[in-house]
Amino acid sequence: MILNIAFRPKDLIQYILLFLLTIQVVYPQEVANLLTGQNGPFKKNIRIEVDDTVGNKGFLPVSIFRGKSEGPVFAIVAGVHGFEYSPIMATQQLMQEIDVNKLIGTIIFIPIASRGSFYNREPFKNPEDSVNLNNAFPGNQKGTITQRTAHIITKEIITVSDIFLDIHGGDAPEDLIPFVCYYNNRKKPQQTALAKRLSEIAGFPYVVSYPYTISDEEPAKYAFKQAVQDGITGLSIECGKLGNVQEEDVLLIKKGVYKMLHEMQMYTDTTPIAEDFVELNSQAYITSNEDGIFYSSLKAGDEVEKGQLVAYATDEFGAVLAEYKAPVTGTVLYKLTTPPINKGDTIMCIAFYSKENE
Ligand SMILES: [Zn+2]
């Protein structure tokens, strides 16, 4: 029908105005202003400009879904690591699917937090400043582009959120089993209990809790740990691996988000999920001592015994440089899978259940 309507310049101006209203540049604290200033339902896409003094220019994309009535503010972040594609693509689909007319409360999406990492196809770090966004929190307003991005997420997004969900996966060289995780922060029992509940109803096969030992002054480093430190209910999904988009992982992430929104009474989702999960509250890490070529026949999800040989590394001539043994009995949560290995790399995370960490 639109094709039959005669073109009028006035319409074009209106379209442009509408477009400019939908995508606009905002400056500090304007996410908060948007949330207090306007009732829903509406969707608004904004670009928060992030430049630094060494010539990097970019923006943080933020999409605000304001529901039909008041309720919790639920932040969903993907692409803190830009090579973790299943979380990014699941978030794209969620943004297409969620209907603000059926939503209670607000969802704030950050569809790709580290655009530098994503567009440069660089695992872990943003090559523009060689900073890992998931190591940069709380960030620095006067730092490099990634440090400033962390600062904006801390100040603009975490401060206005009730729930902060950071979605990751295995990065380019990592195999990983799908899990949801939270910090067992005993200083904030209410937030911890909610994070635990949201993790347990999300339909993932593994629920992992990490000990929370940092002081209020220590840098949180990780995005969702920053949220936890700031008194927000923070949790993370880990799903997807090895620099690919796995369709089943995209579905698992989406399902998990819908289940969490349902639990928060923000969005209705009554589809069935697997209710069984394995609880793992302790972790042991194996770290590499040298650069070399990496060998391991294990997969994420395999069970290992304490003392079992789990990996080894050789030099470029094939001479064995190191053998790695499991320090504990447990489940391989994630591991390196591709041949290069550098000194200091986390080779493997083995998770297990311990009564001590309950
Ligand atoms: Zn990640």
Kindly report, residue by residue over 306-346, the tens digit of the pLDDT: 999 999 999 999 999 999 999 999 999 999 999 999 999 99
Does 101 share its domain with 212? yes
Specify which residues 59 forms β-bridges with. Answer: 49
Check whether 1 has a pLDDT greater than 50: no
Q: Give me ligand 1 centre to Cα 124, in Å.
A: 7
> Which of these three, 203, 231, 263, is where a domain ends?
263
Residues in a beta bridge with 295: 312
Q: Specify whether 60 is located in the same domain as 205.
A: yes
CB 128 within 8 A of CB 146: yes
Specify the number of domains making up the chain. 2
Between the CA of 146 and the centroid of ligand 1 the distance, in Å, is 15
Question: Residue 326 sits in a domain of what CATH number?
Answer: 2.40.50.100
Query: Average pLDDT for residues 76-88, to the nearest whole number?
Result: 98
Residue 319: predicted pLDDT: 98
CB atoms within 10 A of CB 156: 23
**3 state SS of 183:** strand
Span from the CA of 3 to the centroid of ligand 1 (angstroms): 46
Question: Ligand 1 center to residue 217 CA distance, Å?
Answer: 24
The token pair at 270 is: 């009554």
Instruction: Assess whether 61 and 89 both reside in one domain.
Output: yes
Tokens 């949790």, residue? 235
Question: For residue 98, how far is its CA from the centre of ligand 1 (angstroms)?
Answer: 24
Largest CA-CA distance found in the chain, in angstroms, rounded: 77
Q: What would the mean pLDDT of 163-187 be, rounded to a whole number?
A: 96
What separation in Å is there between the alpha carbon of 170 and the centre of ligand 1? 6
**What's the pLDDT score for residue 4?**
40
Distance 166 CA to ligand 1 centre (A): 9
Q: Could you tell me if 320 and 236 lie in one domain?
A: no
SS3 state at 204: coil
- The residue among 230, 263, 296 that closes a domain is 263
Structure tokens at 271: 């589809």
Cα dihedral sign, 94-95-97-100: positive
Q: Name the average pLDDT for the chain.
A: 92
Within this chain, do residues 172 and 137 fall inside the same structural domain, yes or no?
yes
User: Do residue 192 and residue 248 come from a single domain?
Assistant: yes
What span, in angstroms and rounded, lies between the C-alpha atoms of 92 and 41? 20
Same domain, 160 and 90: yes
181 inside domain: yes
Co-location of 288 and 258 in the same domain:
no
DSSP per-residue letters across 2-15: GGGSPP-HHHHHHH
* 181 sits in which H/E element: strand 179-184
Domain that holds residue 297: 283-353
Same domain, 123 and 173: yes
- CATH number of the CATH domain containing 121: 3.40.630.10
Instruction: Using the mean position of ligand 1's atoms as its centre, give its distance from the Cα of residue 240 in Å.
Output: 10
Residues 218 and 287 in one domain: no
- Do 256 and 317 lie in one domain? The reply is no
pLDDT band per the 50, 70, 90 thresholds, residue 356: confident
36 CA → ligand 1 middle, Å: 32
